[in-house]
Amino acid sequence: MSAAVLAPVVAVAIAGFSDGQIDLGEEEGSFARPSVHRLAVMPTLGLALRSLLDYAQIDWLPTIGAAAVLTPPLTFVVARAGFKDRPYGLTGVIGLAVFTYVWGALVQLNALAGDHSTEFALTKVVSMRETSGRDASNYLTLAPPRYPGVPDEVDVGRRLYDATKVGDEVCIHVHRGVLTWRWYEVDFCPT
């Protein structure tokens, strides 16, 4: 995951130190310059998707707030480094990409860096539901009281879903990351 965090930074550095010879945008025409836009964009999308799909955040407001604070100055840096001849024409698009990158990087940093503590909240399964199709999901409906911020219906892995029946107890694992932001997963209870 560190490669996905570093690749866009490297792309901006390459464009910034190239003295306008390498661009972050993709130009068409006979005078197009070399571009490192894929090095910046593809890891950013992967980082955002992984952050959305792998971590069910409880404390999502601080993550969005931190990303919102960091986005404007970083947008300015990216616009000046990668789009020398048109630094402000694409500010909105650049800002959205930078916000996506910063948000994904913060979620990953919080989850993967340092020691983080885990709390366990025991709950019972009230009902089960399975979707079908290409992106099939397995849902458990949890009995109250649940951990604050955890929805009543959660998507769980196939292994837990197959081993569970209505009335069984499962645990909500609430992790506190290095930035103290919490995320959860529902899994077997530790023995």
22-77 pLDDT, tens per residue?
877 766 553 566 778 788 888 888 888 888 888 889 998 999 999 999 999 988 88
Q: Where are the domains of the chain?
A: 2-112, 117-187
Round to whole Å and give the CA distance between 120 and 104: 25
Higher pLDDT, 84 or 155: 155
Q: What CATH architecture does domain 117-187 belong to?
A: Beta Barrel (2.40)
Looking up tokens 């399975």 gives 130
Quote the tokens at residue 126.
Answer: 């009230």
Q: Which has the closest alpha carbon to 173: 150, 143, 145? A: 150
Round to whole Å and give the CA distance between 62 and 149: 14
The model carries a pTM of 0.80
Round to whole Å and give the CA distance between 111 and 181: 8
User: What backbone torsions phi and psi does residue 174 show, to the nearest 5 degrees?
Assistant: -105, 115
pLDDT value for 31: 56
Quote the tokens at residue 183.
Answer: 């995320």
pLDDT of 18 above 90: no
List, for residues 100-145, the tens digit of each pLDDT value.
999 999 999 998 876 678 889 999 999 999 998 888 899 999 998 7
Residues 6 or more apart whose CB falls under 8 angstroms from that of 108 comprise 1, 4, 5, 47, 50, 51
Quote the tokens at residue 52.
Answer: 């959305």
Confidence label for 19 from pLDDT (cuts 50, 70 and 90): confident
pLDDT value for 147: 87
Decide if 175 contacts 117 (C-beta within 8 A).
yes
Round to whole Å and give the CA distance between 150 and 123: 11
Mean per-residue pLDDT, 165-188: 92
